[in-house]
Amino acid sequence: MEIKTTQDALNFINSCDTFLFDCDGVLWNGSHVIPKSVELLSYLKSKGKRTVLVSNNSTSSRKGYLKKLEAMKFSVNEDDIFPSSYAAAYYLKEIEKLKPNDKVYVVGMGGIVDELELAGFETLGITDNVTEHTFSAANELLNKFDPNVKAVVVGFDLHMNYAKLARAFDQLNRNSDCKFIATNDDSTFPIQGGVLPGTGAWVAALKECSQKEPVITGKPSTHLFNALKKFYGLETDKTCMIGDRIDTDIAFGKNHGMKSLLVLTGISSRSSLENTPLKPDYHIESVTKLFELINT
């Protein structure tokens, strides 16, 4: 249903005690804060609600998000943030029970490395970014195989190159126990004026050569749901996922028995809402509108 009146908005908010927010396209677009998103989060907190920011963007750690959020004037704690960089580290530590000092090969950027190291793992891969000199002898790559690498994590990576792909592949290929984790598999993401390839592209490359399927720790995966449930003690039917993407955010909510609210300030439009079989429980133009309804 569309949230249209103040009563709709209050009923919606009263029906839940935890709100999971997607970030880009919901609370902000790039560096532009969506009006009233700061106020909405403060309002919810003042009513004793829990708010958690759940993003598939793996380029930042929780600390990195915290900095960005503080600069945008959001009042949040590190525990209110659960990006897919952290989800990957959490999964390896809490579910796969990797040991401290186990090594992880990272195809991705600083956020993943930071979270993995905070979780006690040694990371490899980030120094393979430099590509002005490609390897001259393919054999060199094979000499870098490390049997202590217990997992390969793939996230968004602006610095992807053949050597990284080959090393990640080699670790998976020669060690059948090596875990294969993807922070998410979004095929694209929007930027102002267009669309760019998402993490899913590099994940597809590694799937193709390794012929293995990754565990995905971002939305809409059940691994993420289990992690959130454990971390926050969620009561599923009193939790709502608020997002702008039907195929990740709304699917995540609906597949796991949570409520879901679609906002139209990001990827999914009113027409995609009409044409999908995956209907959110609620939809509204924006968080701006939601706050304004409550505040009148």
Residues with catalytic function: 22, 24
- Please report whether residue 196 would count as binding a copy of itself according to CB under 8 A: yes
Confirm if 130 and 157 have CB atoms less than 8 A apart.
Answer: no
Give me the least distance between CB of 152 and a copy of itself, in Å please: 13
Query: Looking at 130, 233, 277, 296, which residue binds a copy of itself (CB under 8 A)?
Result: 130
Give me the least distance between CB of 145 and a copy of itself, in Å please: 8
Is there a binding annotation on residue 186? no
Cα separation, 116 vs 88, in Å, equals: 8
* HSE (side-chain half, CA atoms, 13 Å) at 170: 19
Q: How many residues does the chain have?
A: 296
Query: Looking at 64, 83, 200, 266, which residue binds a copy of itself (CB under 8 A)?
Result: 200
Closest to 54 measured CA to CA, from 277, 274, 260: 260
Give me the least distance between CB of 239 and a copy of itself, in Å please: 31
Contact window for a copy of itself (CB under 8 A) among 3-11, 14-22, 97-105, 153-161: 153-161
Tell me the C-alpha to C-alpha distance, in Å, between residue 152 and each of 1, 113, 157, 239, 262.
42, 12, 14, 32, 33
- Please report whether residue 32 would count as binding a copy of itself according to CB under 8 A: no
Give me the least distance between CB of 76 and a copy of itself, in Å please: 26
- Please report whether residue 157 would count as binding a copy of itself according to CB under 8 A: yes
- Please report whether residue 126 would count as binding a copy of itself according to CB under 8 A: no
Query: Looking at 33, 72, 201, 264, which residue binds a copy of itself (CB under 8 A)?
Result: 201
Confirm if 160 and 168 have CB atoms less than 8 A apart.
Answer: no
Side by side, the strands of the sheet bearing 103-107 are 122-124, 103-107, 149-154, 179-182, 215-216
- Please report whether residue 273 would count as binding a copy of itself according to CB under 8 A: no
- Please report whether residue 128 would count as binding a copy of itself according to CB under 8 A: no
Residue 121 tokens, joined? 């793992």
Q: What residue type is 247 in one-letter code? A: D
Query: Looking at 108, 111, 125, 198, which residue binds a copy of itself (CB under 8 A)?
Result: 198
Residue 247 tokens, joined? 């195929």
Cα separation, 139 vs 186, in Å, equals: 33
Is there a binding annotation on residue 58? no
Residue 39 CA to its chain's centroid (Å)? 23
Query: Looking at 159, 223, 238, 279, which residue binds a copy of itself (CB under 8 A)?
Result: 159
- Please report whether residue 166 would count as binding a copy of itself according to CB under 8 A: yes
What SS3 class is residue 32?
A: strand
Tell me which residues touch a copy of itself (CB under 8 A). 130-132, 134-135, 138-139, 141-142, 157-162, 165-166, 169-170, 173-174, 187-188, 191-198, 200-209, 211
